[in-house]
A and B are shown apart, each in its own frame.
Chain A
Amino acid sequence: MLKIDELVKRYEDGILAVDRLNLTVEPGEIFVMLGANGAGKTTTVNLIFNLIQPSGGTIKIKGVDVAKNPLEARKYAAFVSEDVRLYGSFSPRQNLDFFARLSGRRRTSKQYDQVLHEVGLPEDSFRKRVSDFSKGMRQRLGIAVGILKDAELIVLDEPTSGLDPKGGREFLALLADLRSRGKAIFMTTHDIFRARKIADRVGIMSYGRLILNIDRSEFAETDLEQIYLKYIEEQSTDVERISRAPKLDGWGGLSQ
């Protein structure tokens, strides 16, 4: 469903944010990407939606090249970004209705309410203005907008960052449900605990590179947190060592 090949992104200021990234996410699979702050996760997500241009490599959604045919590719993908505030003067229903119309599929207000229930928004908030919402409530609404698009691929950038424990648990149930409906899910997070619970596949990103890509059978027995910290630490010492070394062109040198 999602296929990333040798993806490279170097920003104008020279920072190599994504370095030869390869990964695939199949239908009915949840891929969770872990990584320290500044590892390149959001950059990857932005690249998936062609919000920024890659410096190299390809991304295909359902076989459609994102860079060559973004309008077509985006049809198959829904987006939940890390802090979306939506339209403050609209109610949750109006927000859902607006985005549903954009994808050409209006629903009844009953259907909107159902989605809002699914993401765990309380009934009395359905008519409130979104500008009065808490961060977590907005996050839930953002997830609702993503789900409503009913795309085959769902990309979520730190969707659980503002959620309370109950919200987190409901969110996992929601993801599991989406997976059972055959959706391909790509999600970034810092939440190793939840990643371990839900992921079919876990990737660890560090300085733009995917340094680990393991499936459930490989991390089920082990302590994912240990692995994460071990890899992150190894990487950072590597980086310190290498960055002190002379004549190295960018982080690309790390992979050698």
Chain B
Amino acid sequence: MFWTIVGKEIRTNVVSSRFIILSSLCIGLFIITAFSLFQEMRLSHEEYDSNVTSHKEAVTNEPSLVSLAAVSGVKVDRRPEPLSFIAKGIEAARSRIYRVTSYDVTPIGGSDLERNPISSLSGPLDLLYLFQVVLSLLAFLLVCDALSGEKESGTLKLLISHNVPRHTILLGKFFGNYITLLIPLLISVLAVGVIMSFYSFHSFSADDWKRIAMMLALAAIYLAVVLEAGLLVSSVTKSPPLSFLVSIVVWVVLVIAIPRLAFHLGATVAPPPSVAVLQNRMRAITNEADVKAFTEIRKYMEKNGHPPSRQWLEELSSRVMAENNAKKAKLQQEFQNRLTRTFRVSGILSRLSPSASYAFAMQGMAGTGFNDDSRFGRALAKFKDRFAQYMEMRIKGMSSDAEANLPQLGKKLNLTGIPTFNYQRASFADAVGNIGLDLLMLLLFIVFFFLAAYLSFLRYDAR
């Protein structure tokens, strides 16, 4: 009985013009998007590679160790996450290049939005957007009149008179429509895969594949959630036109309004810190340190009548720098805490919508979520410390101040052993752990929508 209904759902769906139009639209969008996505991915990977080489080169061309440590620093490139084409996440807004000196880490531009400001008009391009918006609309429109349509055609009465229990009708409809929806989903994914094979921007590791598999599973779960939301709409509306109207409203609220508004609302309740203010304060701390160092040197000279020894200066420098670093680290930490708070508040609000949970989970798996961003920030800070240590050691090791300070004309700097920045995203297990809450939310939504649809269908007037 159950499979009879599942089969009927699939057979009536696949020949319906509604399904054919909607799924062609969906597949078409995936294909078009894939081309521009992979083109962009290839470009940004090429750009990354060439930046890395040129930044490496630039370091050895620095005139002196001191200018390298204090002024120019090394440039660190943020590698585009290979899976960011699936979920761009926070990466779109982040700088791709950072200057790291002994005192500071400064983003020096090159975010996606800066490179292509026009793209901010439409929001970042990724596959997540298609899954989240297009696929969910497809699911809603396909299933929203599943019950009201049968009521209208009189077949619901007939089903019941043929002794089909209501839960069988509902489950049959769910699985029938679910299987139907897997068709455009699988075709889309396959098409994207084929297109991807033409753009070899990155050779995926086993870890990447695991993440891709996980993201497909997430898409399947999300599809179940929206399908059930659609069934719920169907079980509370009495006629197909009303079903369509209500499902569009519900779709807009769940998929568009809540996830978007939540972040603005979150920023109102818990305002995020300003990056510009942070940088101004950082600069102020550096200036303060400079002033302090010079004052002490002047005092020494006034008192002793001769310049301080090199050892004295080195001691002063490491003391001032330690203070400077501590202050900056504290400031950075405050900044990060406030950002985390904003994210938490927005997160709580937006998780009223399964669509937001789904997006968070996908970004987490792609390595472009909020957690990954914080992780990258921590890696940068650590790298700065290692760099500062190395530079200090090297400068101390010089035979004279002049050698450290003056341009070594015609000679390249010897920088053996200089630390390199190596960012590793979280392990697969950690990434899954991080999206645990969102996974749980999605599963809860499945249970909730199904129960709600079932309870309301039990009281549904079949006449």
Contacts and interface: CB of A to CB of B under 8 A. Distances in A.
Nearest to A94: B11
B463 A103 contact: no
A149 interface: yes
Interface residues of B, number: 24
B330 to A, nearest CB: 67
B4 A77 contact: no
Contacts of A71: 163, 165
Nearest to B152: A85
Interface string B152-175: 111101111111110000000000
A78 B16 contact: no
Contact of B153 (A79, A84, A94, A98): A84
A102 B155 contact: no
A148 to B, nearest CB: 10
B157 A49 contact: yes
A78 B163 contact: no
Contacts of B16: 89
B162 A86 contact: no
Chain B CB count within 10 A is highest, among A79, A90, A94, A98, for A98
B161 A78 contact: yes
Interface in A78-103: 78-79, 81, 83-90, 94, 98-99, 101-103
Contacts of A88: 153
A77 B161 contact: yes
A74 interface: yes
A89 B158 CA distance: 17
Chain A CB count within 10 A is highest, among B16, B153, B158, B163, for B158
B93 interface: no
Given A51-B462, A98-B4, A102-B1, A89 B12 contact: yes
Nearest to B16: A89
Interface string B1-23: 10011001001100110000000
A101 B158 contact: no
B153 A99 contact: no
A104 B4 CA distance: 10
Interface in B161-193: 161-165
A74 B159 CA distance: 11
A71 to B, nearest CB: 6
A87 B162 CA distance: 15
Nearest to A74: B163
Nearest to B150: A87
Contacts of B163: 71, 74-75, 102-103
Nearest to B163: A74
B161 A87 contact: no
A85 B164 CA distance: 18
Contacts of B5: 102
A46 B15 contact: no
Interface residues of A, number: 28
A87 B4 contact: no
Contacts of A102: 1, 4-5, 159, 162-164
A52 interface: yes
B148 to A, nearest CB: 14
A145 interface: yes
B34 to A, nearest CB: 32
Nearest to A106: B4
B153 A87 contact: yes
A10 to B, nearest CB: 16
A101 B164 CA distance: 11
User: What does DSSP make chain A's interface, helix, strand, loop or mixed?
Assistant: loop
Interface in A2-35: none
A86 B150 CA distance: 9
Contacts of A98: 4, 8
A49 B160 contact: yes
A85 B159 CA distance: 13
Contacts of A74: 160-163
Contacts of B153: 84-88
Interface in A49-91: 49, 51-52, 71, 74-75, 77-79, 81, 83-90
Given A49-B160, A78-B161, A86 B155 contact: yes
Nearest to B165: A71
B459 to A, nearest CB: 10
B434 to A, nearest CB: 45
B81 to A, nearest CB: 45
Interface in B193-226: none
B153 to A, nearest CB: 4
Contacts of A84: 153-155, 157-158
Interface in B116-137: none
Contacts of A85: 152-155
A52 B463 contact: yes
Nearest to A157: B157
Nearest to A83: B154
Nearest to A104: B1
B337 to A, nearest CB: 57
B159 A87 contact: no
A79 B12 CA distance: 23
A34 B385 CA distance: 94
B108 to A, nearest CB: 60
Contact of A79 (B152, B158, B461): B158
30 contacts: A49-B157, A49-B160, A49-B161, A51-B157, A51-B463, A52-B463, A71-B163, A71-B165, A74-B160, A74-B161, A77-B161, A78-B161, A79-B161, A81-B154, A83-B154, A84-B157, A86-B158, A87-B8, A87-B153, A87-B155, A88-B153, A89-B11, A90-B11, A98-B4, A101-B4, A102-B4, A102-B159, A102-B164, A145-B158, A149-B162
Given A52-B461, A81-B154, A87-B12, 5 more contacts: A78-B161, A85-B155, A87-B8, A89-B15, A90-B12
Query: A-B pairs with the 7 shortest C-beta distances?
Result: A79-B161, A84-B154, A85-B153, A101-B4, A102-B162, A74-B163, A49-B161
